């Protein structure tokens, strides 16, 4: 069974078309990365899927409930973690959790709250105001609070923006644990390392589904070929490479230069002049997800304007 199955979701705010014809399928128990450039309607799509917003067009089911008619039922079985910390900073950690437990009618409240606090490792800091927590802890508290009622589907909107790498790794470990217990997870993100942790990736740009599949599928489907150049004074070659039609992207990575193109022959031809330089190493490399996304983005800039 699919946890999410929606077709043709469309949403306008006034004259502005925010989500255009988005279709999405998420299998139960999957962790799906929901990617797309800024302003491509990811947040709005997620809000529609958790019953917060009513789509102008389109239909579908979330957890087997109708997206339009059963929004209240969907709300009670979906966990939604907003982009910004949206629990009460002027309540303590414990008060926040009891509030959520009461709203979801989780009885006995005390037991649910204490269990969650224990799991979080915040039992000793239960009386601390949530507003005093660091970014990473706020994130963990928010995740614990929105999974307290054991939702079947968890929707995360850019969950680890502004969180340090250690906290981010812990966060993702928790996500994988939840998924192993059968929870379906849809994560919107900008971070490539986050996307790489998902079972499946969906890339939506201004309403168009550009890629859908596992990490390898998505990279392969992009049909990109990449070379890594290493050596001194590489910057000097950038203008010549940029002018060449065989090269689509040039991206510096530390001391190296990633040069990417769709046509392998043309790309090789473009790099030919550099082979004369003995101090420059040219190696064929694996295309990474970021190269693929940048291609998607540059392909779709026309749509934006």
Partner 1 sequence: MSSVFSLQRLFAMLIKEFIQMRRDRITFAMMLGIPLIQLVLFGYAINNDPRGLPTALVALANDPYSRAAITALENSQYFKFTATGLSPSEARTLMRKGDVTFVVTIPSDFAKQAEAGRPNALIEADATDPAASGAAVASAPVIIERAVASVKEKNPSLKQDLLRSSTIIHRKYNPEGITQYNIVPGLLGVILQLTLVMMTSISLTRETERGTMENLLAMPASPFEIMCGKVLPYLVVGAVQVAVVLTAGRILFHIPFQGDLTLLIGAILVFVVALILLGYFISTIARTQMQAMQMTFFFFLPSLLLSGFMFPYAGMPGWAQELGEIFPLTHFLRVVRAVMLKGADWSEVSSSVYALFVFVGVLLILALKRFKRTLD
Site for partner 1 in 217-246 (CB under 8 A): none
Distance in Å, CB of 158 to partner 1, minimum:
13
Helix (H) or strand (E) holding 44: helix 42-49
**Which of 7, 28, 29, 91 touches partner 1 (CB under 8 A)?**
91
Q: Does 63 bind partner 1 (CB under 8 A)?
A: no
Q: Does 84 bind partner 1 (CB under 8 A)?
A: yes
- Kindly write out the interface string for residues 23-62 of this chain, putting x where it contacts partner 1 by CB under 8 A and - elsewhere: ------------------------x--xxxxx--------
What is the residue whose two structure tokens read 């990575």? 253
Q: Which window, 73-81, 119-127, 182-190, 282-290, contacts partner 1 (CB under 8 A)? A: 73-81
Distance in Å, CB of 254 to partner 1, minimum:
37
Q: Which window, 97-105, 158-166, 172-180, 211-219, contacts partner 1 (CB under 8 A)? A: 97-105
Q: Does 132 bind partner 1 (CB under 8 A)?
A: no
- Pairing between β-strand 281-285 and β-strand 256-261 as defined by DSSP bridges: unpaired
Q: Does 16 bind partner 1 (CB under 8 A)?
A: no
Short-list 221, 232, 293, 292, CA closest to 257: 232
What is the residue whose two structure tokens read 């450039």? 37
Short-list 113, 75, 111, 76, CA closest to 91: 113
Q: How far apart are CA 41 and CA 22, in angstroms?
A: 9
Distance in Å, CB of 41 to partner 1, minimum:
15
Q: Which window, 103-111, 162-170, 213-221, 285-293, contacts partner 1 (CB under 8 A)? A: 103-111
**Which of 24, 26, 45, 87 touches partner 1 (CB under 8 A)?**
87
Site for partner 1 in 165-224 (CB under 8 A): none
Burial grade of 74 (CB within 10 A; 0-12, 13-18, 19 or more): buried
Q: Does 89 bind partner 1 (CB under 8 A)?
A: yes
Question: By C-beta, is 43 or 189 nearer to partner 1?
Answer: 43
Question: By C-beta, is 92 or 208 nearer to partner 1?
Answer: 92
- Pairing between β-strand 200-205 and β-strand 31-35 as defined by DSSP bridges: parallel
What is the residue whose two structure tokens read 């917060």? 52
Helix (H) or strand (E) holding 61: strand 57-62
Judge whether 111 and 103 are in contact, CB under 8 Å.
no
CB atoms within 10 A of CB 110: 11
Distance in Å, CB of 188 to partner 1, minimum:
15
Structure tokens at 191: 């971070």
Short-list 85, 83, 87, 119, CA closest to 100: 87
Q: Does 75 bind partner 1 (CB under 8 A)?
A: yes
DSSP code at position 237: G
Q: Does 128 bind partner 1 (CB under 8 A)?
A: no
**Which of 104, 135, 264, 287 touches partner 1 (CB under 8 A)?**
104
Q: Does 72 bind partner 1 (CB under 8 A)?
A: yes
Beta bridge partners of 79: 154
Provide the binding-site residues for partner 1, judged by CB under 8 A: 47, 50-54, 72-73, 75-76, 78, 80, 82, 84-91, 95, 98-100, 102-105
């Amino acid at each position: 069974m699919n946890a999410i199955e929606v077709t043709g979701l469309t949403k306008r705010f006034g004259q502005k078309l925010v989500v255009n014809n988005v279709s999405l399928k998420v299998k139960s128990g999957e962790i799906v990365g929901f990617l797309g450039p800024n302003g491509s309607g990811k947040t709005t799509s997620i809000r529609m899927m958790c019953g917060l917003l009513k789509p102008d067009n389109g239909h579908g089911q979330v957890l087997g409930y109708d997206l339009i008619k059963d929004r209240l039922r969907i709300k009670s079985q979906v966990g939604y973690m907003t982009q910004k910390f949206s629990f009460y900073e002027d309540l303590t950690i414990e008060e926040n959790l009891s509030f959520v437990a009461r709203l979801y009618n989780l009885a006995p409240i005390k037991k649910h709250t204490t269990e969650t606090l224990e799991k979080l490792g915040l039992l000793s800091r239960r009386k601390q105001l949530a507003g005093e927590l660091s970014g990473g802890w706020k994130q963990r508290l928010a995740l614990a609070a929105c999974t307290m009622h054991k939702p079947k589907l968890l929707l995360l909107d850019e969950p680890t923006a502004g969180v340090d790498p250690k906290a981010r790794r812990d966060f993702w470990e928790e996500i994988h644990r939840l998924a192993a217990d059968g929870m379906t997870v849809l994560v919107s993100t900008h971070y490539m390392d986050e996307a790489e942790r998902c079972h499946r990736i969906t890339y939506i740009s201004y309403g168009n589904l550009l890629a859908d599949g596992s990490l390898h599928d998505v990279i392969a489907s992009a049909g990109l070929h990449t070379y890594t150049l290493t050596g001194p004074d590489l910057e000097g070659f950038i203008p010549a490479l940029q002018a060449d039609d065989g090269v689509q992207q040039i991206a510096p990575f530390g001391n190296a230069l990633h040069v990417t193109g769709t046509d392998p022959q043309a790309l090789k031809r473009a790099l030919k002049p550099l082979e004369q330089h003995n101090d420059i190493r040219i190696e064929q490399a694996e295309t990474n997800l970021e190269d693929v996304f940048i291609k998607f983005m540059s392909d779709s800039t026309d749509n934006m304007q």
